[in-house]
Amino acid sequence: MNISNLWEAWPISGPWHLSPLLGGTNNMMWRADAADGQSYVLRLSPNLDHAPRMRYEAQLLQALEDKDPPFRLSVPLKATSGDILVSFEHEQGARMIATLSPLLPGTLHNQPPECHDLLSASHAALTLAWLDKALATLPDIQPPDGYIPLPTFGELALWHPLVSDPFAAVERLPADREQAKQLRAFLTEVLESVPGLYATLPQQVIHRDYDPGNILMDQQQVTAVLDFEFAGRDLRVLDLCVALSWWPVQLLGTGKEWELIDVFGTAYTRQMALSKEELLALPAVFRLRDATSLMHRTGRYLAGMETVDRMQRRVEHSLWREAWVSTHQQTLLDHALAWA
């Protein structure tokens, strides 16, 4: 079936007009404007094995929706069949999975100057705090048949089947000898920290991908939170680290990052109290977040889904982040302990 005819699978007015949206690395996203003026987001996944995970994500979104959040969520709509998933054969012959959800209000604020705006950052932090508090109180969700939870960030060797040995994978990256040496030292430090982090720090279900590209805003207010694909149980403080690794990324190393970091960290921790042990673990969790992201991207590269140039830039980016954390570790801890 051509995706232009997919509207027939849902109880909506057709035909629809499709236009591509900026999507994630694992899915294709389309804006679908129906004949009655309503607009939707059509999400297409080429991996049929993701169906149980997509069902779990929908259950999680519905459970959050029932808590009446102060922002919108992309809860999938039921198709005419009564299911949220529609399996179809694409025009190239491959089978795909589709979901449809309402188009949510707001715009992406993932580029300067918007994500450097202090009021926007404060509201984004308050939204994340509300989200994490809500996720901590959700009843247990019965996972669908076939659902396999995603690994924790501490399980680096499980994030991609082609990276079962992170150190061996480093040798296959487009990195020079000095870069490979630095990456090995970085991964060694991260892996040595993992047992202690997971033995001592609180864990709960969290978003795990809360960056500026996954929220919509309108006049500095968060209107929607997107992309719960990686949501799962992990270190509670990890959500804050993911956010702080992206909101000030354009400012890191300039000296101007600290005001934004403080605004975000203060707003978040005043609503979502973290222990002193969690705050002291921030540098280690920052490193863990980047190492897991790098291993996931490395797997995509080894699978032929990333170009050499993009992977080289990703390696340089990881080393640049690690240099910032190493240089400013004590400053980061001083600021974090002052948030409370």
**What string of H, E and C letters represents the secondary structure of the chain?**
CCHHHHHHHCCCCCCCEEEEECCCCCCEEEEEECCCCCEEEEEEECCHHHHHHHHHHHHHHHHHHCCCCCCEECCCCCCCCCCCCEEEECCCCCEEEEEEEECCCCEECCCCCHHHCHHHHHHHHHHHHHHHHHHHHCCCCCCCCCCCCCCCCCCHHHCCCCCCCHHHHHCCCCCCHHHHHHHHHHHHHHHHHHHHHHHHCCEEEECCCCCHHHEEEECCEEEEECCCCCCEEEECCHHHHHHHHHCCHHHCCCCCHHHHHHHHHHHHHHHCCCCHHHHHCHHHHHHHHHHHHHHHHHHHHHCCCCCHHHHHHHHHHHHHHHHHHHHHHHHHHHHHHHHC
Band (pLDDT 50/70/90 cuts) for residue 180 is very high
**Residues 266-306: pLDDT tens digits?**
999 999 999 999 999 999 999 999 999 999 999 999 999 99
**Residues 219-249: pLDDT tens digits?**
889 999 999 999 999 999 999 999 999 999 9
> What pTM did the predictor assign?
0.93
- Domain boundaries defined on the chain: 3-103, 108-339
**CATH number of this structure's domain 108-339, picked from the four choices 3.90.45.10, 3.40.50.300, 3.90.1150.10, 3.90.1200.10:** 3.90.1200.10
For the domain made up of 3-103, the CATH class stated in words is alpha beta
Specify the pLDDT at position 93.
Answer: 75
**Residues 208-221: pLDDT tens digits?**
999 999 999 998 89
Band (pLDDT 50/70/90 cuts) for residue 21 is confident
Specify the pLDDT at position 112.
Answer: 47
